[in-house]
Structure 1
Amino acid sequence: MNNPERVDVVIPTYRPDGRLEELLKRLGKQSCPIRHIYVINTRSDRFPEDVEHIPGVIVSHIDQEDFDHGATRNLGFSMSDAKIVVFMTQDAMPADSRLIENLIEPLGEELVGVSYARQLPASDCDFIERYTRRFNYPEESRIKGKEDIPELGIKTFFCSNVCAAYRRDVYEALGGFSRRTIFNEDMILAGRMVQAGYKVAYAAGARVIHSHNYSGLQQFHRNFDLAVSQADNPEVFSQVRSESEGIRLVKNTMGYLLKSRKPYLIPVLVYKSGCKYLGYKLGQNYRKLPQWVVKWCSMSTTYWGK
């Protein structure tokens, strides 16, 4: 990749804990140098003051009512003039010193507009979620384009701002992230890239440690918002189906549990999968629901007050 020094990182934060300082420390030791790290913090009762004194780290604070998954990242992007901007979340931990190097390498190909990292399970990750990480983030890298839609379906657009690098020229050509979105800003932009003839790279050699042990109710809320984002962007998602990929994950996970001699976890899988599906179907039809029901179903309650 030419001019590897022209790389900046943007990290939105909210009530960060000690992991943010460890994340910044690891980013400071990358084989590919990072010029600036822009931390866009949503004001709360907690923020580690030492972060503002780390060389190369530039902190900005915004009010809670001003946060938006797309607009806040666009704000961070606008602060940089780097040719490549990497977006991360505050709980994504670089697995090694070559994260940025491996992440930006695919962007050297002419049509690749974004590259996203492999997510590895944390030490406290539960058994089912460990398999989900493997399912969504396999060991093999892949570059995805419009020609892959018949095979991959919605997975063609799959991308995650937990750790993803964007080429400035492609990002600007497509207008950046949606300026108002409840969730899923990464896949919305990746889908628009694919439709415009660009490609999405999955860089398996770029690894971050990131996982969550969501409860069934948390999965419900998350999938509700996921479906809302898809319903609000039919120009991207109307031609692909998400349900088939979800069914494939459930079937593969069930087979893995049986093979691993852990059939007692199947009821947990069925329960959480049911929560995901119910949340998704309600999210698809959120416009038909009373506002109080929508707010209860959503994990992003402040979004509905805007």
Structure 2
Amino acid sequence: MARRTAAEADVSVTLLTYNAGPLLARVLKAIHEQETARRFEIVAVDSGSTDGTLAVLAQYDAHVTEIPQREFDFGLTRDLVFEESSGRVVVCLSQDAVPAHERWLDSLVAPLDDPAIAASCGRSVPDPDRAYAQFVWERNGLFYFTREMRAFVAKYGRGLSNANSAVRREVWERLRFGAQPIGEDFRFQTKLSAAGLAIAFPDGAEVLHHHAYTLRSLYKRCRNEGLGLRALDCAYGGKDLLHDCANRTVWRAWARELVRGNLRAPASLLFPIVRPSAVFVGSALARGYLR
């Protein structure tokens, strides 16, 4: 389906892009191939791409706003792409999240036809065509084993992810994301909770999306998550660190994965120590985010 003009859009599919690489064309092609009666537009904010990302966005008739990389902030840039869009429903999609099938958009947006639902969030599933394998601790469901995430889920429920979500525009206009260097989706979820607004997690709204990590990128992500969750009253202290480093469930999984030959990469092998240690540094010691 071709992009509609802003005045005609029912749904805005928004992306925050930066050197998205060849995968972006797959993402945009999958959006255009959606089988839906809903009129939609594609809107992106790009923060200084130099790899041809802008040309690919133009090829798929996306409306693009450019900002310097130094100005990027997940919360404020997310607000900007919402401002540049026009649909009564705004979809957030990661630049490397490929809609899994032609009914993805309808499945993601349909729950918002219920006025009691403020936001919707679809699952991410492994991409069989990706050049790199899914991180083993993501695949086995233990990536977020640490206590700060369990505290968040206990307070707010299953986590909202802007890798694949939809928000009613009128709700965003009331709450907005605000300045948030990382974890703007979790902060927005706390605002939804405080306002008594519901999130749907529909089946059938999957995207193909997974990660791989080096030791450096794993440490950076976990440290930043610790800092972000501290700001949401989910702090992580020394007792949490000691408890999680001795988590028997995680170490049993580590032993199984080791026997299967799945821990060859340093990030995978050292994950049970790196994640809690990095979260602790972010939550207890850090003063700013790593970029």
TM range (shorter): 0.7 to 0.9
Identify the residue that residue 35 of structure 2 maps to in structure 1: 31
TM norm structure 2: 0.79
1:10 paired to 2:8? no
User: Is residue 216–residue 276 contact of structure 1 (8 Å, CA) maintained in 2?
Assistant: no
Identify the residue that residue 202 of structure 1 maps to in structure 2: 201
**Aligned-partner Cα distance in 2 for 1:130–1:150:** 19
Identify the residue that residue 177 of structure 1 maps to in structure 2: 177
RMSD across aligned positions (CA): 3.5
One-letter identity of the residue aligned with 1:172 = E
Deviation at 1:265, TM superposition (A): 4.0
Identify the residue that residue 258 of structure 1 maps to in structure 2: 256
Identify the residue that residue 141 of structure 1 maps to in structure 2: none
User: Is residue 114–residue 190 contact of structure 1 (8 Å, CA) maintained in 2?
Assistant: no
TM norm structure 1: 0.75
Identify the residue that residue 102 of structure 2 maps to in structure 1: 97
Deviation at 1:215, TM superposition (A): 2.4
Identify the residue that residue 45 of structure 1 maps to in structure 2: 50
1:74 paired to 2:73? no
**Aligned-partner Cα distance in 2 for 1:15–1:101:** 28
1:193 paired to 2:192? yes
**Aligned-partner Cα distance in 2 for 1:15–1:113:** 31
**Aligned-partner Cα distance in 2 for 1:103–1:248:** 39
One-letter identity of the residue aligned with 2:256 = L
Cα distance change on mapping 1:105 and 1:46 into 2, 3 Å: same
Structure 2 gap ranges (5+): 1-7, 145-149
Cα distance change on mapping 1:250 and 1:203 into 2, 3 Å: farther
- Number of residue pairs the alignment of both structures matches: 271
One-letter identity of the residue aligned with 2:64 = V
Deviation at 1:271, TM superposition (A): 1.3
1:168 paired to 2:182? no
Deviation at 1:9, TM superposition (A): 0.9
Structure 1 gap ranges (5+): 137-148, 301-306
1:57 paired to 2:62? yes
**Aligned-partner Cα distance in 1 for 2:68–2:171:** 29
Identify the residue that residue 211 of structure 2 maps to in structure 1: 212
1:285 paired to 2:284? yes
One-letter identity of the residue aligned with 1:19 = L
Could you report, residue by residue, the CA deviation over 1:38-81 in whole angstroms, capped at 9, with x for unpaired residues? 11111142234533533541111110111110111101101122
Deviation at 1:177, TM superposition (A): 0.6
Question: What SS class does the counterpart of residue 201 from structure 2 fall into?
Answer: strand
Deviation at 1:131, TM superposition (A): 2.4
Could you report, residue by residue, the CA deviation over 1:95-141 in whole angstroms, capped at 9, with x for unpaired residues? 111111111122233332111111111233246245246988xxxxx
Equivalent residues in 2 for 1:210-249, closer than 5 Å = 210-234=209-233, 237=234
One-letter identity of the residue aligned with 1:30 = Q
**Higher mean displacement: 71-80 or 46-55:** 46-55
One-letter identity of the residue aligned with 1:16 = A
Deviation at 1:155, TM superposition (A): 6.3
Could you report, residue by residue, the CA deviation over 1:234-259 in whole angstroms, capped at 9, with x for unpaired residues? 3xx46xxx98xx78998268449739
